[in-house]
Chain A
Amino acid sequence: MASPSAPAEIAGRDPAPRPSLSDFPNWFSPMLVKELRQGMRTNLFVTAFILLQLFMILCVLFAAMSSESDDSNGFFWFFVYVTLIFVQPLRGLGALSSEFRLNTIELIQLTRLDAWRIAFGKWTALNAQTVLLVVTVVPYLVMRYFLGGVNFITDLASVALLTAASCFLSAVAIGVSAFRSTLVRVVIAVLGLFLLSTLGPAIVFGRMFGGTRPFDVTSTCLLLLTAAYGTYLFLTIGASRIAPRSENLAIRKRGGAFLFAAAAIAFHFLGLDDLPVLLAGLALAIAAIDALTEPVPLIPTVARPFRRNMLVRPLAFLFTPGWHTGIFFVSFAFVAWSAGVAAIEISQFGTGDIFDLEPWIAAFSLGGIVTFPLLLIHIGFARRTDTEHHFGVYLFIQVGLLVFTVLAMIAVEASNDFEEFAFYLFPLPSLILLGNLNGRIDESLYFVVVSFVGMSAPLLLALIRGRNHVVALGAALYRGPGREASHVAGEPGPDEGESSSSETPGE
C-alpha cells in the first residue's frame, strides 16, 4: 500500500492516537505472544489464579493456628495438584480445535507459521501460565517451612515434579485438542486422566522417591526420556491433524516412535527389566493408532523428498502421511518391537524358549488389540476413512471392545461353564490376551493362529480397501515428474462411482 489514505466517507473522524505494542520481545514466537495475551485474560485462568491464592492463604493460616500439620499439608497439596494436573491441562483441551471453531486456522496457515509452531506455541504459552501459577505458590512454601513441620527441599522438588507432569499433560491435551469432535476429546480426556492419575503417580513416585525401592537413576532417566518423547509425540500428533496436506509430519511421529522404542529397549541392557519393553510398546502403539487413523493426504508433493534416491523411495511407504502407509508402518513396527523383545528374551534365557507359544499369543494379541477395530471400520464405516472422523470411529469401536471384554471377563469369572466356550466363541485379541495372562486358555497352536489372524486380517482388509491410495503413492514415487503433481492423487474421479472422500465443496 503506497498511499494509506482513508476513504473520504470515513476520513472526517477524530485523529487517532498512534497505537503501539511492546509487551513481548520480537524473538518470542507469534503464537506464544498471542496465546499469552489471550490466555491471561480468560476467566478460567483468572479464577484459577485467585482461588489458588485464596486456598494457599487459608492453608498457611490453618497451619499457623493448628499444631496438627497433616491436615493443612493435605489441603495444600490437593489444591496445587488440582490446579497443575487438572485445571491447566484441561485448558489445553480446546486449544487447536478452537482455531477451527473460530475459522482462524486457515488464516494462520497462510502465514509463515507451520503446524508444529502453532501447536508448540500454544503449549509453551500454557506452560508459561503454569509457571506463573507455580511461582506464586513458592512464597507459601517458604512460609510453611518457617511455620515448621515440612521439608522445604522436598516440597520444592514435589512442586517441580508436578510442574513437569503438568507440562506433559498439557502436551497430551493440546495433541488431543486437534480432534474437532468434543465427544472424542472428552472420551480421550476421561480415559487419559483416569490412567495418568492412577498409574502415573504410582510409577513416578514409586520409582523415583518412594516405596521399598531406592532412588533409581536409570528408571528416572527412562521416565524423563519418556515424558520428553511423549510431549513431542502428542504435540506432533496435534500438529499433524491441523497441518495442510502438503506438510509431512508422519516422518516425525513414526520415525520418532522407532527411535524412542530403540532407546527404551537399550535401557533394558542398562539394568531395567520390564519397563523398557512396556514403554517401547506403548510408544509404538500410540504411533500405530495415529498412523492407522490418519487422513490420506493425496498430494504427490509430499512424496517428492523420497524420489531423490532409489534406496530412499521405499521409505515413503512407511513415512508419508495417511492410513494406507500406516498399514506398512504398523506391520514394520510390530516386527521391530517383536525383534527387540526377542533379543531381550534371548539375552536373558537363551534360545531355548523360542518355541514357547505363550509369548507369541501375547504378542499377536497385543498387536491385534491395536489393529482389530480396522476390521469393523473397513466393513461398516469405509466412507469415514478419509475424514477427520476416522479416529473417532476407531476410538468408539475400541471403547466398545473394551466394555465387551470387561463384561465377557465378568461372565467368565462368574460361570465356569462359560469359561470353556468364551475364548472360542469370542476370539477377540483382548479376550485372548487376558485369557493368556490369567492362564485360562491353552497354549495351543489354535490360539497362536487365531491371535495372528486377529492381528493381520484387519491390516489385510485395510490394505485392500486402500489399494488405490497405495498405487497412487507408488505412481508419484516411480513415475517421472509429470503434470500429475497438481492432481489430488488416488482420489476417485467424478465418474468413478463410490468415493472414499467425504469432503464437501465450500460452495
Chain B
Amino acid sequence: MSAPSSQAPAIEVTRLSRWFSGIHAVREISFTVEPGQVVGFVGANGAGKTTTMRIIATLDYPSAGRACVAGFDVVEDPASVRRVLGWMPDHYGTYSHMTVLEYLDFFARALGFSGAERKARVEEVMAFTDLASLSERLVDKLSKGMGQRLCLGRALIHDPSVLILDEPAAGLDPKARVELKHLIRILAEEGKTVFISSHILSELEEMCDSLLFINQGEIIHHGSAEELRRGRDGVTVVRVTLAEGAEKLESWAQMAPDVAFKDASKNGGRLIIESHEEERIAGVLRRMIEDGLTVVDFHREQARLEDAFIEILGQLESEGTPIVS
C-alpha cells in the first residue's frame, strides 16, 4: 500500500498503459497534476481519454504502469483513492421513481454520512448546484442540464479534493453550459483539483491552468493554452495597422532585424517576430514608433486552439514522433 503524502501530486500517472484484445488504448503515458490545478484533457474520440480517466477513478485497471491520486495507488489502495476523488462520467446514471433529494440522500448514505451531517451535506450540495427548488422532482424527469448539475452534486457529496469530469458539457445547451462552467470555476477557486475532458477547447481554455492533449493513446502536448497557441516554431505573429498603409510597413520590416513581413492587409499587415518573449515583441513596437511609423493598432494574433491542436497533429504526422513539452 502506497503511503500518501501531503506533498503528493493530486494525480500522478507514470508510464501507464492499457490494452484490450491486443489494441493499445493508452500507451505508456506519464503526467502530473498538482493540487489545486484545473487541467483539461483533450483528444479525439478513441484517443484514450475515458480509459485514462476510468483508471484514475479506480473503475478500470492498468495493463502496465501506475496511477496515483493524492499519493494513493489506484490498484493498491482503491478505497483511499475513492475517498478523495469525485467522478462524473459522460453518461450520468439516474434512477426511475426517485426524487432529486432521495438520489443525493442515497449517495450520502452510501458514502457513510449519517444524521445531521448527511442532511447538511445534501443541503449544501443542493444549494451549490441550485437544485433545492427541484428536490421533489423525479430524477428521470430532469433536463440534461439539470441532470448534469445533479451528477456534479453527487460527485461532490463527500467533498472530494480531486474531481474527474468526463465530458461534463456534452449535449448541454449554451445556458446550461455556462452554468456548469461557472460551477467548475467556483470549485477551482475553492482549491479543488479538477481534471476535465472536453471536445470544446475554447471552454477548457477559459477554465484550465493547463491542457493535456492525447492522441492514439499517447500524450502529445502538456502545457498552457498560451504555449499551445505559440506553437512549436518559436515565432509570434502580430497584426499591425498603420496610418501610412501596408507598403510602409513592408518596407520597414525589410530593414528590421528578427522581423519578417508575412502578408498585407488594407492599412497594414502581419509581421512574424522570431521570438515568444514579450520584451522582444514590445521592442518591435518601440522601434516602429521610434522610426516614425504611426501605429494605429498592434496586437498579437491568437491562434485558435483547435487550429493549434491540428497543427501539432500535422507536425507529429510528418515527424512521426510524439512530443511532450
Question: Interface code B202-224, partner A: CB below 8 Å = 1, 0 otherwise?
Answer: 00000000000000000000000
Of the candidate stretches B114-122, B244-252, B270-278, B301-309, the one touching chain A is: B114-122
Residues 115-149 of chain B: 1 if any A CB is under 8 Å from the residue's CB, otherwise 0? 10011001111111110110110000000000000
Give the residues in chain A near B33, CB-CB below 8 Å. Answer: none
In this assembly, does B317 line the interface, its C-beta being within 8 Å of a C-beta of chain A? no
In the complex, the chain A residue whose C-beta lies closest to that of B102 is A37
With CB as the reference atom, state the residue of chain A lying closest to B27: A494
Q: From DSSP, what is the main secondary structure of chain B's interface residues?
A: mixed
Assess whether A9 is in contact with B179, with CB atoms less than 8 Å apart.
yes
Which chain B residues (3-44) contact chain A, with CB distance < 8 Å?
18-25
Please give me the residue from chain B that is nearest to A19 by CB atom.
Answer: B135
In the complex, what's the smallest C-beta–C-beta distance from B68 to chain A, in angstroms? 10
Does chain A have a CB within 8 A of B60? yes
User: CB of A213 within 8 A of chain B?
Assistant: no
Residue B63 lies at the interface, judged by CB distance under 8 Å to chain A:
yes
Q: A507-B45, A507-B46 are in contact. Are A112 and B110 (CB under 8 A)?
A: yes
Q: Which residues of A contact B122 (CB under 8 A)?
A: 19, 21
Residue among A10, A486, A498 facing the most chain B CB atoms (10 A cut-off): A486
A4 to B102 alpha-carbon distance, docked (Å): 20
Residues of B within 8 A of A11 (CB): 130
Inter-chain contact B89/A2, CB cutoff 8 Å: no
Q: Are A1 and B187 in contact (CB under 8 A)?
A: yes
Interface membership of A380, Cβ < 8 A: no
Interface stretch, picked from B71-79, B234-242, B260-268, B280-288, is: B71-79
- In angstroms, Cα B125 to Cα A507, docked, is 30
CB pair B59 A109 closer than 8 Å: yes
Tell me the complex Cα distance, A31–B98, Å: 13
Contact assessment for B110 and A108 in the assembled complex, using a CB-CB cutoff below 8 Å? yes
Q: Is B64 on the interface with A (CB-CB < 8 A)?
A: yes
Beyond A21-B105, A37-B98, whether A501 also contacts B21 by CB under 8 A is yes
- Is A507 in contact with B156, judged by CB distance below 8 angstroms? no
Residues of A contacting B175 in the complex (Cβ-Cβ under 8 angstroms): 9
Q: How far is the CA of A485 from the CA of B115 in the complex (A)?
A: 39
A3 touches B186 (CB 8 A): yes
In the bound complex, residues from chain B placing their C-beta under 8 Å from that of A8 are 182
A473 CA to B111 CA in the complex, in Å?
33
Asked if residues A14 and B22 are in contact (CB atoms below 8 Å), the reply is no
Does B78 contact A38, Cβ atoms closer than 8 Å? no
- Give the distance in Å from the alpha carbon of A504 to the alpha carbon of B132 in the complex: 39
Chain B residues near A41 (CB-CB < 8 A): 97
Q: Report whether A2 and B190 are in contact in the complex, using a CB–CB cutoff of 8 Å.
A: yes
Query: Is A485 in contact with B75, judged by CB distance below 8 angstroms?
Result: yes
Q: Is B195 in contact with chain A by the CB < 8 A criterion?
A: no
Q: Is A345 interfacial (CB 8 A cutoff)?
A: no
In the bound complex, residues from chain A placing their C-beta under 8 Å from that of B45 are 507
**Nearest chain A CB to B254's CB is how many angstroms away?**
50
Is A496 interfacial (CB-CB < 8 Å)?
Answer: yes
Residues of A close to B64: CB separation below 8 A: 486-487
**A309 CB-CB contact with B under 8 Å:** no
Query: Does A47 lie at the interface of the complex (its beta carbon under 8 Å from any beta carbon of B)?
Result: no
B159 an interface residue at 8 Å Cβ cutoff?
yes
**B128 contacts A1, CB within 8 Å?**
yes
- Decide yes or no: A3 and B190 within 8 Å by CB, A504-B20, A505-B23 being known contacts: yes
Is A19's CB under 8 angstroms from B49's CB? Answer: no
- Residues of chain B at the chain A interface (Cβ within 8 Å): 18-25, 45-51, 54, 57-66, 73, 75-76, 78, 82, 85, 87, 89, 91-98, 101-102, 105-107, 109-112, 114-115, 118-119, 122-130, 132-133, 135-136, 154, 156, 159, 175, 178-179, 182-183, 186-187, 190
